[in-house]
Every structure is written in structure tokens, then in C-alpha cells.
């Protein structure tokens, strides 16, 4: 977040981060002024979009656990993923929101990121701004060819909504005015035949959602179980 607000990588040290969080330090006022100028909603949208885009690419390539670590480290390790993930996140951010581009082939991007930690500085505690900037340049160079020019504003209705949808579901144990569940196109008895009324039911629900009004967003979530 701070690197986005400052327009370049900030120093990754506990001492510097403490100054940003201390009301007695000038840096605290500066980062909050930058946040107000940048816009909280814009920052939230851009961070969600980048996280969701990276996540979708990783999961499409390999849905198993620790998939990112296995990609960026050449050998099995328990080392932290902070430095390589920061480089990947900022590379995606700059390509998407500064370059007006979007990723194309998921598998190609993950292949390009293989053994990334052999190419960048991965200090465990302290890493200079210059090193972080160089890490971003290296990472961008590896994946740049897998990005194409695109209408970045369209991402507001795509990857950036993944977190909103999941968080809405996690926070509620029942249906709310924000979303609605449909069990299946099939009946739940032993025959598992198609329910002839379900399509009409779904259409009526969609109409109800549309009639709520422009100020209330509602998600219709449907799962087809065979």
C-alpha cells in the first residue's frame, strides 16, 4: 500500500514502518495526506484487483497448496515469501495500472516466474528501496511479454470483485439482501432429475435483485451439483 502511495518502493525495515505508524513522526502525516489525495476507494479497488488477478493466475496454473513458493524458489524451502511476492505484486500493479495492460496466458506467466528468487534480492529482515525497485524491474522483464494492452477500467467488474464476493459470504451465515443461494438445477431426491421450475425461480430472483435499486448490490450465487 505504501509503495503505491509513494509511487516507488519504500524501505522494508521495521524502523521505517514504525515512523509511518507513529503520530509523532512527520512521515505519519505525509502518508495520510498521500492516502487522502490518492483516494481510499481507488486504493482499495486497485489492491483487490491485483491480488485477485495474481491469485487467479496461480490457481489456474496449480491449485495445490504452497504453489507460489514452489514456483519462485528453485528448491523446497520454508523461507518467507515476502520479498518475491512483493516483487510480483508490484510488477503486476505497474503493468496493469501504470501500463494499462492485462495478463494473457496464465501458464506462461507462472513459467516465467520459475526460480524467481535466484534473480532478485530476498533479504529476510532489511531490504533497501533500491533493491526492491530492481526486483520489480527484473520481475516485470520476465512477465512483460505475457501482458497486452487493455481497458483497465473493465477490471472493476472482474477480478476486483472476487474478494468482495468471498468476504460477503464469510461474514454471513444466511442469505442477505446482498446475495441469494440456489441449490441446483437438479432435484435433491434419489432420482436427481432436472427440476422444471428452477429456471423460472432463478429468473424471478434475478428480477428481484435488479429491482432493489442502484444503491444496493446483491449477488446471486448458484451451484450446479451433479
Are both 186 and 137 inside the same structural domain?
Answer: no
Which of 130, 156, 182 lies at the terminal end of a domain, its last residue?
156
The sign one gets for the Cα dihedral 161, 162, 167, 172 is positive
Which of 156, 182, 204 lies at the terminal end of a domain, its last residue?
156
Domain count within the chain: 2
Are both 181 and 132 inside the same structural domain?
Answer: no
Q: pLDDT tens digits, the chain, 226 residues: what are they?
A: 778 888 888 776 667 677 777 778 877 788 888 888 999 888 988 998 899 889 889 988 888 888 899 899 877 766 678 889 999 999 999 999 999 988 886 678 999 999 999 999 886 566 788 888 999 999 999 999 999 887 666 555 555 566 666 666 665 566 666 566 766 788 888 888 888 888 888 888 778 777 776 555 544 445 444 4
Q: For residue 20, tell me if it sits in a domain.
A: yes
**Global pTM?**
0.68
Are both 140 and 76 inside the same structural domain?
Answer: yes
Q: Domain range for residue 190?
A: 173-222
Which of 156, 181, 202 lies at the terminal end of a domain, its last residue?
156
Q: For residue 164, tell me if it sits in a domain.
A: no
Amino acid at each position: 500500500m505504501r509503495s503505491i502511495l509513494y509511487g516507488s518502493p519504500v524501505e522494508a525495515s521495521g524502523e521505517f514502518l514504525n515512523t509511518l505508524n507513529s503520530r509523532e513522526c512527520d512521515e505519519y502525516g505525509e502518508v495520510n495526506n498521500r492516502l487522502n489525495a490518492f483516494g481510499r476507494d481507488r486504493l482499495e479497488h486497485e489492491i483487490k484487483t491485483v491480488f485477485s488477478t495474481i491469485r487467479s493466475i496461480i490457481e489456474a496454473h496449480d491449485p495445490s497448496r504452497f504453489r507460489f513458493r514452489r514456483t519462485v524458489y528453485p528448491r523446497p524451502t520454508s523461507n518467507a515469501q515476502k520479498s518475491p511476492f512483493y516483487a510480483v505484486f508490484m510488477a503486476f500493479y505497474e503493468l496493469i495500472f501504470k501500463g494499462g495492460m492485462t495478463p494473457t496466458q496464465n501458464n506462461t506467466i507462472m513459467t516465467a516466474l520459475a526460480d524467481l528468487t535466484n534473480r532478485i534480492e530476498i533479504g529476510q529482515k532489511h531490504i533497501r528501496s533500491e533493491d526492491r525497485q530492481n526486483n520489480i524491474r527484473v520481475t516485470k522483464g520476465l512477465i512483460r511479454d505475457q501482458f497486452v494492452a487493455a481497458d483497465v477500467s473493465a477490471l472493476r467488474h472482474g477480478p476486483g470483485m472476487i474478494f468482495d464476493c468471498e468476504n460477503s459470504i464469510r461474514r454471513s451465515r444466511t442469505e442477505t439482501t446482498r446475495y441469494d443461494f440456489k441449490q441446483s438445477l437438479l432435484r435433491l431426491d434419489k432420482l436427481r432429475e432436472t427440476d422444471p421450475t428452477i429456471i423460472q425461480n432463478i429468473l424471478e430472483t434475478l428480477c428481484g435483485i435488479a429491482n432493489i435499486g442502484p444503491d444496493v448490490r446483491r449477488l446471486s450465487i448458484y451451484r450446479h451439483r451433479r
